[in-house]
Structure 1
């Protein structure tokens, strides 16, 4: 089961306390305009808080709660108008049986139409000033002309031309009759009247995903909210990352003087707009441990299971005062369940092991933690479908995924080393240098794997960017030194290429690099190439083929081709694959190097026949004259004189 990464009313983080506080703030002094900010990084749980607020007001017929997702309207020309239209439309729908509401709404629709037209009037002003018509201007005036002259060519008379001129003139003149301040004051007054005739105590507008919008959309939405800030009974709850909103403000006002300070101005703009800010804190260790436990149980048992439902209140009680303990305690669980169910026991074990580093690596972000758990569950499901789930230990998989997510250089080294035997020498050295919680280093002998006491590192570790993090990670149970890592690396292929690809050649990496070298060096590798078994030879062939295919210029022979020839000479079963590789290369971009020197690498009858057919095809092409001419010339040369590599 995968936990959906969207807002939810199932409160696994005890954000209900935040939501209830927002509800109380909005409900107090409901006759006053109010703006509340719910701030936090992406994935912190802001949308879930808004859902809980909406749920709290659901049964209160004196409160109208409207949800507006700014991201859904990304790309609209006027985000400000879209928000205003949404509010008025939803308010009218909520009181669909009231004629007074319908009549008052008509007045507001006229004001909204004025706002739309006023925006277009700005383009007309630009047209008059520069003499260059803008697209909107041309379209609107064309529509006027179409309506006036709808009679066709016969109707193109002096009277109709006069009518067209009058219509176009009035279209512009209407924009000048009322000033913008007058329109805004009138809009507020009429909207206040609409709330009055709608007979509601509080209008609550929940604005979500504003920090996902482009700067223009975000600022337009905020400007619309500012329009309502002086309207009694109106309250806005805005979920957004302050950093992204400040960025939008800076982009919208790029020419702020240096003395003002764009960062200061952006912060002041947001603080002026948001009267009551709430910030969702990052999860600490205890909260992360509880959250991981809950997600694992939810994944295994489901939301409707008796185990999960009985676990929720215990978790929420622990989240009320997370500083008092490390998370869920077994004594409370035993008192509730009698015997702790196996899914909870497994979840507690995993959470205890990975929570310290997961807290640090994810910076306490619930979305990152949820993605980690979902990825782990997905990989277990893949292993189950392939039939090797029994070979995976959940604790081992979680530990490996921590390295993959937060220290990819450690994961890559581990995967390369484990490709052949399943065990990594670098990983063994790292675990022998594992840093203990007190900062000491425990050295382990290769024979006993038992601690020999505090000492300095026994082996030199690779020059990883964050070796101290790696040491802390290595100290997490279970130890991976004696674990066959191949099934775990295989199931992690969403990060790496196919199993056995270039990135996982292990000890063959050095030979691969040599096969990319000059012909003289490659001729000295004949014995090494001959000793390769068929699997190793195919691995090297695939790795070299990938490097050649990625070459920018195929007119000149890419590095690695002599290596491919050497492998095919010693392992003829790959010769058909070499010809197929030639066939897959873009013929229009190929140089003549593909035509000569391959006799020694293509000796098998079937492969040689396919190669001859391919050369005949090249000879008949019109998109590469050089290749075509050379292929025709080669066809006239006796095979014995073509030579090999």
Structure 2
């Protein structure tokens, strides 16, 4: 009943191809140090690719593969030293009986102690530019600790400082003059670590770093800085799974004094590109791929991953996805052949659902596998609840899926459907019947051409149009929804409304908590209310900023008139100011705005939230508005903004 949201054990998206490519790349650079990025949005499948990569490397005795999850060490005193210590400890565990490995590991760990000692003083924070503390820093730390023993502060105990002074004193006795310079420190670390690899007798050390984009900026940067120490160590490879936008945001937050970029690439992006030599980006799923994915998810859930019929279906899906641009999704004939001629009812229902909800689901989730999986989980959970309550037989999954599409992507439309169903004695709103009939009639007219008889016949389908239908016809999303199967005419919608109204949320069908709903309402309010919500915006984590963004975006786009600045624009701007990783989504939203309806506010509302390369892209949008002629008010405003910034 439940689709696991962890790294998938079954490759339903044919991501194995990416993992195999990374393995080949590592194999072709045996001596050269390399850093590879596996990029993608939240929920795109980065962790699954990394797990496949790890599985591919585990059979090679000459390659040691280590896994490091940055999020696991969130809140640790110094993530940088944790990364290095973890790598050294794993090397020791891989060669537990080797004296050479033990001795070499001690040397590396001793140098790592420098980082810890410097950090304990509180005054020698390591940055991207210092890397390892100098001898002068440690001398100062030693004098500080020794002279401070009689006056312990609240944050540092006397025992801690005494231990620190003893360790620092022992180190200073052994230090030579050459170690007073930063280049020598870095060089010594790399030499010592290379000696450790020699002692371990491995051809390649591969370190997989996952969930870096979930970390706070401080932890993310510390992890990247630790990786930077290995960039020139032979026979090492780092594979980093992260969303580039989140890492760029971490760089900007950690180094707030970086100057504004004057070129097409921001300093934050430069930092990332210098660290990651080979980037792989996981593409979003297209419509056909989404259809295949939905079918496979539901079929696996019904049959089990080890069922021979599902294995056959998965093999056919992989053939189909080899050339996704030619794919039409898994058609019934293909599924029948994979199932040995007989399609089980659960799989047949999966085919119906995937065939009809795919287009809207793909567009609404932007082809994100995790969002698709969450939608299906909610679908199956609600059906299961209906079963437990005793009305499961009254619920058909394809109809439930159609209702949930409205709930997830057009909540105001869903609320109207729910109200009409609740108010009808049989739960069969006439407005829904009329709307679907009208949309299907229009489709027939378009298919048949402009023949007068066909047009007249189509117009007679509806005699008296309900006022809701007139409103719904203004929105393309609602029209697309009405056109998909199954038709809801004659269906008692009350059980579907009951099972989907486990909450009423402005965030649609996503799993959210009440504080996000309240936050969306504040961001849809006046500017003073938006400003008051800034503190709450700063506390959003993980996928929460994206969920709030999508909720506000969908409500704005449902407006009929854009002559005045819609409610929510100020909230959207403030959200992106606090969470700059949303700039790409904001730029896409600005491009979605109907050019013929918007006014001067659309040109002047975004100047504070676009930074670096996005400024140039937004100016491209302004130039398009400035050159068009159908909306002269917008044209003049765009020309004025460009002139103000010297682009006119």
TM-score when normalising by structure 2: 0.67
Q: 1:428 to 1:330 in 2, by over 3 A?
A: closer
Matched, 1:249 2:265: no
Q: Is the 8 A contact 2:335 2:343 kept in 1?
A: no
Deviations along 1:111-146, one digit per CA (max 9) or x if unpaired, are 1111111223452789999xx999997655611677
1:431 and 2:427 are equivalent in the alignment: no
Q: How does 1:568-587 map to 2 (within 5 A)?
A: none
CA distance in 2, matches of 1:31, 1:204: 12
Figure out how many residues of one structure are paired with residues of the other and give that number: 471
Question: Hey, what's the Cα distance between the residues in 1 that align with 2:316 and 2:73?
Answer: 40
> 1:191, 1:168 → 2: CA distance?
22
Matches within 5 A, 1:210-609: 210-260=212-262, 264-342=266-344, 343-421=346-424, 422-434=427-439, 452-453=457-458, 458-461=465-468, 467-496=475-504
Matched, 1:42 2:54: no
CA distance in 1, matches of 2:460, 2:69: 58
Separation in 2 of the partners of 1:146 and 1:63? 42
Larger-Rg structure: 1
Q: 1:186 aligns with which of 188, 206, 210?
A: 188
Looking at structure 2, the residues matched to 440 and 104 of structure 1 have their Cα atoms a distance apart, in angstroms, of 79
Q: 1:437 to 1:452 in 2, by over 3 A?
A: closer
Cα displacement (A) at 1:37: 0.6
RMSD of aligned C-alpha atoms? Answer: 3.3
Alpha-carbon separation, structure 2, partners of 1:172 and 1:193: 21
Deviation at 1:384, TM superposition (A): 1.1
Report the secondary structure of 2:488's partner residue.
Answer: coil
CA–CA distance in 2 between the matches of 1:419 and 1:308? 40
CA deviation after TM superposition for structure 1 residue 330, in Å: 3.1
The superposition leaves residues 261-295 of structure 1 with CA deviations (integer Å, 9 ceiling, x where unpaired) of: 79611111111111111001010111000000011
SS in 2 for 1:123: coil
- Gaps in structure 2 of 5+ consecutive residues: 125-136, 448-454, 506-648
Matched, 1:16 2:32: no
Rounded to whole Å, the distance in 2 between the matches of 1:246 and 1:87 is 25
The aligned counterpart of 1:63 is 63
Matches within 5 A, 1:617-636: none
* TM-aligned CA distance change 1:319 to 1:454, over 3 Å: farther
Q: Contact 1:123–1:136 at 8 Å: present in 2 too?
A: no
Superposed CA offset, 1:406-446 (max 9, x none): 1111111111221243233553454244378969789xxxx
2 CA distance for matches of 1:370 and 1:436? Answer: 34
1:99 matched to which residue of 2? 99
Given that 1:290 and 1:328 are in contact with CA atoms closer than 8 Å, whether structure 2 keeps it comes out as: yes
Provide, for residues 57-79 of structure 1, a one-character-per-residue CA deviation record: whole Å limited to 9, x for no partner.
11111010001111111111211
Q: Following TM superposition, by how much is the alpha carbon of 1:380 offset from its aligned partner in structure 2, in angstroms?
A: 1.1
Match of 2:79 in 1: 79
Change beyond 3 A, Cα 1:118–1:180: farther
- In structure 2, C-alpha distance between the alignment counterparts of 1:246 and 1:253, rounded to whole Å: 11
Distance in 1 (alpha carbons) for counterparts of 2:441 and 2:276:
46
Q: Give the 3 Å change call, closer, same or farther, for CA 479–94 of structure 1 in structure 2.
A: same
Cα deviation for residue 466 of structure 1 reads 7.8
Partner of residue 112, structure 1:
112
Structure 1 gap segments, 5+ residues each = 148-163, 443-449, 498-645
| Aligned mates of 2:282, 2:107 — CA distance in 1 | 40
Cα distance in 2 between the residues matched to 1:405 and 1:329: 26
Distance (Å, rounded) in 1 between the aligned partners of 2:152 and 2:472: 57
101-110 or 305-314, which moves further after superposition?
A: 305-314
Deviation sequence 1:511-549 (CA, Å, 0-9, x none): xxxxxxxxxxxxxxxxxxxxxxxxxxxxxxxxxxxxxxx
Query: In structure 2, do the counterparts of structure 1 residues 365 and 465 end up closer, same or farther at CA, with 3 Å as the change threshold?
Result: farther
